[in-house]
Amino acid sequence: MKIPTFLKILLPGMGVKRWFFLSALGVAILALGVFCLLGESGARELYRILVGYLPLLWRPAVAAGLIAGGFLAVALGTGMMTRAVLRAVSPKSEGSVAQALYEARILKNAPNVVAVGGGTGLSNLLRGIKHYTANITAIVTVMDTGGSSGRLREELDVLPPGDVRNCLLALAEDEERMARFMQYRFAKGEGLAGHALGNLILVGLAEALGGFDRAIEEASFFLSVRGQVLPSTLDKVQLVAELADGRTVEGEAAISSDPAPIRKIWLSQKAQAYERALKAIEEADVILIGPGSLYTSIVPNLLVEGISEAINRARAEKFVIMNLMTEPGETTGYTASDHLRVLAQYLDLRKFTGVIVNSESPPEEILARYRAEGSEPVRDDLRGAKTFGLRVIRAPLLSVVEMEGKPTLKHDPLKLAKLLSRESKALRRSWTRWFSP
């Protein structure tokens, strides 16, 4: 059950009720001072003028109504005054005192959630979770070699900004407005065609500020990001895969586009974990693995030295979010237990709370297109030993979104976040679950 927004102001920890009662007390003291000035005879005369004509039986009811009306007037006046000030200093808040206080006090005191992954799966997850906590950390893979990110990486020797850009937008206060320019792609221009404006901004900030991590911090500030986005490493390394036919392929784009199954995957050289990412994992209340491309979005983070060890050590509740569809070559024919089998090579799944699996069937017309491209729904075979000891949480989580001009299957971010708020003890204890969409 969702509680009306205006009741947020009554939540414990908002720091409002005490000042309201202080205002009411001030009015009462002021009234007492007036009566002291009038003296006993003056007070009697004033009482006679104001209520002396009322029948005795009516007077207690009138008194109660006046007291209630006084409290209401104090609350309304204080609220409207605050709202007017809020509109002046923060137009984006639209003057909602309850919402502004809720974001400042309740969301910022909600549980620490860490999401590990990359690609559109991670950014989609963040869109839902940001309604339940402002303490979100997205730990993002930086192994991308395709598209605009790959070109920038090759030409300027920078970390690929694409996945980071998508996560920043997903956590932005006004994602829709920011996406208009951050996701804009140049249609023409030598060297510009195909580049996303957001990628160029991040790369420019990295050069101007002397580091990719500093660029993310600055971008987070002007996008009003709720939470933080961190690369898993600042080292520039490549993904390398050994395929089932014996070939070795280097580069994320080349691996994900190759139709041959993956036998083994590693990094071109050792990569040290970004220190802030390790600290976020250590302090997390909830850790989420996935959704996202298994070998090119999730596992690359776990290959970075220190990341998987930190996750295994963390006392947080841990969940795996199972992918909806297989990916041609990369996970062709993989079932849900196959995904867990791969993750178990890097993570101690015995310390995980559960695995979340979609139970809803995709529309047949969309499924036909996926099958033509070599994808199938990830088959739920999680029974007995195949669960790796995890509690299997099944729920309808499917949504269809328009991406690159065609309907695409994704997890519904709000449904997924709501499910997590019920299944996670930390999120279940938070007030945010009662006020989120």
- Rounded to whole angstroms, the Cα distance separating 27 from 76 reads 14
- Spell out where 290-353 has E strands: 317-321
Q: How many helices (H) and strands (E) does the chain have?
A: 17, 12
Among 124, 133, 60, 73, smallest CA distance to 280 is for 133
Considering the entire predicted model, what is its pTM?
0.81
Q: If 0-12 CB within 10 Å is exposed, 13-18 middle and 19+ buried, where does residue 152 land?
A: buried
- Rounded to whole angstroms, the Cα distance separating 137 from 144 reads 20
Looking at residue 262, its amino acid is I
69 band by pLDDT with thresholds 50, 70 and 90: confident
Mean pLDDT of 249-262: 94
**Percent of the chain residues topping a pLDDT of 70:** 87
What would the pLDDT profile of 16-29 be if each residue is shown by its tens digit?
Answer: 666 667 776 777 78
Q: CA angle at residue 365 from 362 to 371, to 5 degrees?
A: 75
List of residues 6+ apart from 152 with CB closer than 8 A: 158, 160, 161, 195, 199, 200, 203
Tell the residue number behind the tokens 């004509």, with chain if given: 53
Q: CA angle at residue 213 from 210 to 215, to 5 degrees?
A: 65
**Percent of the chain residues topping a pLDDT of 90:** 67
The SS3 call for residue 115 is: strand
What would the pLDDT profile of 175-218 be if each residue is shown by its tens digit?
Answer: 888 988 899 999 898 889 999 999 999 999 999 999 999 999 99
Question: Is pLDDT of 137 > 90?
Answer: yes
What would the pLDDT profile of 306-362 be if each residue is shown by its tens digit?
Answer: 999 999 999 999 999 999 999 999 999 999 999 999 999 999 999 999 999 999 999
Question: What would the DSSP string read from start to end of 384-400?
Answer: GGGGTTPEEEEE--EEE
Phi-psi region of 329 (alpha: psi -120 to 50; beta: other; left: phi over 0): left
Among 348, 281, 278, 340, smallest CA distance to 312 is for 348
What would the pLDDT profile of 146-161 be if each residue is shown by its tens digit?
Answer: 999 999 999 999 999 9
